[in-house]
Structure 1
Amino acid sequence: MRHIGIMGGAFDPIHTGHLLAAEAARDAAGLDEVWFIPSAVSPLKSNEPGVSGEQRYEMVCKAIEGNETFRALDLELHRGGVSYSIDTIIELQSRYPDCSFAYIIGSDRIHDLHQWHRINELAERIAFIGLERPSEALRIEALPNWLKQRLTMVDMPAIGISSTAIRRRLAEGRSVRYAVPEPVYQYIRRRGLYEARPID
């Protein structure tokens, strides 16, 4: 049985913080691999992604290239509509019966975990790996006991990078080099994504 961590989200764009989080979870939880699955439409975020699903998926692929323990899947983009984790897990468990799965989630997702679509069924199928940042206060005690029992906390390196801040900097014509992996930086610049200044 292979143990797989799932990193979901818009990845709009994927950045160094995502990769650090995935590696921290893989190392601390003894995962065999981490699979990155860009969402089509997030059920918990009202803002639409800034670029197409295909472009976000391509950036993920470029970001993880060369890491044999990281993998990108576009199944939520192909499915379309709102990306509910329970639908993704049911599909993954059907496709990969030799794998066990755990969702890797940040502190913001830990707080709203009880609001996830069909969370009772999801928690029966998988576990959760929570990333704890030293600078953020968590209220894990507010979660119901049956959910806390499915949650394992791991330390997350402190890094102040967000996709929102990256998009804002690009829109202002400022550099995001090293906030995103170099292949992603080059991809954004060449295509002028997020109103980035194109490479001459």
Structure 2
Amino acid sequence: MNHIGILGGTFDPPHIGHLFIAMEVLTQLNLSQVWFMPNRIPPHKERKSYVTDEERVQMLQLAISDQPKFTIQPIELEREGPSYTYDTIKLLQEKHVDTKFYFIIGGDMVEYLPHWHKIEELVEMITFVGVKRPGYSFPNTYPIVEVDIPQLDISSSMIRKRLMENANTMYLLPEKVRNYIEEKHLYGT
């Protein structure tokens, strides 16, 4: 049986925090792979489009290109409407019957779990993996495998702001992603 971690998000842009979380969960839980799953319309927050879906996928591809156990899972970009995790996991389980899925979430999403679409069914389908995030706690409402990692307080919104202000982003983004952003003049660069 394959053990696959899924890290969902807007990845607008993907940064070293995403990569660090994925690698820590991959190694600590001895997973086969981690799939980065960009969503089209996150149901839990408004998403202002800063770049196209194709640009987000290209940045993700560049970000993970050096790690063979990381791949992109585009299923949510291929569907219309909000990216409900329940619907996505149902489709993935139909396609990958010999796979156990671990859905990786940060502390902010752990606190929001009671509001997720069909959460009671979802916790029966997958294993949630919670990664601590500064300023958030882990309530014990649902079963969550906690992975303790050094906390990096980095967010895509913080990076976008720095890019728009022409501030330093070195070491916050993979170099290939930084070069792509500058080359394509994304985020006001």
Tell me if both proteins adopt one fold, taking TM over 0.5 as the criterion: yes
Supply the distance in 2 between the matched residues of 1:74 and 1:80 (Cα, whole angstroms): 12
For structure 2, the 5+ residue unaligned runs are none
Supply the distance in 1 between the matched residues of 2:77 and 2:136 (Cα, whole angstroms): 33
- TM-score, normalised via structure 2 length: 0.95
What's the counterpart of residue 137 of structure 2?
A: 138
- Secondary structure of 1:168's partner? helix
- Displacement of 1:94 in angstroms is 1.3
- Secondary structure of 2:120's partner? helix
What's the counterpart of residue 180 of structure 2?
A: 187
Per-residue CA deviations over 1:120-162 (Å, capped at 9, x if unaligned) read 11111101000024x4451413x2xxx22xx100112221211
What's the counterpart of residue 79 of structure 2?
A: 79
What's the counterpart of residue 163 of structure 1?
A: 156
Supply the distance in 1 between the matched residues of 2:58 and 2:164 (Cα, whole angstroms): 20
Which sits farther off after the overlay, 72-81 or 35-44? 72-81
Q: Give me the identity figure in percent.
A: 40
Supply the distance in 2 between the matched residues of 1:155 and 1:11 (Cα, whole angstroms): 22
- TM-score, normalised via structure 1 length: 0.90
- Displacement of 1:175 in angstroms is 2.5
For structure 1, the 5+ residue unaligned runs are none
User: Does residue 3 in structure 1 map to residue 3 in structure 2?
Assistant: yes
Provide the alpha-carbon RMSD of the alignment.
1.2
Q: Is the 8 A contact 1:39 1:83 kept in 2?
A: yes
- Displacement of 1:165 in angstroms is 0.5
Supply the distance in 2 between the matched residues of 1:97 and 1:125 (Cα, whole angstroms): 12
What's the counterpart of residue 38 of structure 1?
A: 38
Per-residue CA deviations over 1:35-92 (Å, capped at 9, x if unaligned) read 0000001001113231111111111111000211111121111113211111111111
Number of residue pairs the alignment of both structures matches: 189
